[in-house]
Amino acid sequence: MDSEFITMTSKGQVVIPARFRKALGMKPGTRISVQQRDGQLIFQPVTDEYIDSLFGILGDTTGMIESLKRDHELEDK
């Protein structure tokens, strides 16, 4: 597993190392999903691939997924 240590500020902010941002295609304004699972924080950039992976998880969420896609497309402009 590729890891690196970072420090959280008093405001709860962290800096994602540049090599991870570049590898994941993250740019300023990229939305990130954060989940807590088994004592870990999971950060997932909200990309088209991530949005597509959500299909079917909650049943018929077509409206919600389409809204996420529109938001993501607007951020790219």
Encoded tokens for 46: 């909200």
Tally the C-alpha atoms within 13 A of residue 49's C-alpha that lie toward its C-beta: 4
Pairing of strands 40-45, 32-37: antiparallel
pLDDT digits (tens, 9 = 90+) for 11-50: 999 999 999 999 988 889 899 999 999 999 999 898 877 7
Would residue 58 count as lying in a domain?
yes
Q: Name the pTM for this structure.
A: 0.59
Would residue 31 count as lying in a domain?
yes
Instruction: Provide the pLDDT confidence category of residue 69 given band limits of 50, 70 and 90.
Output: confident
Encoded tokens for 21: 């941002």
- One-letter amino acid at 29 equals G
Measured CA distances, 54 to 2, 5, 17 (Å)? 25, 29, 26
- Euclidean distance between CA atoms 3 and 1, whole angstroms: 6
Would residue 27 count as lying in a domain?
yes
Domain that holds residue 55: 18-76
- The number of folded domains in the chain is 1
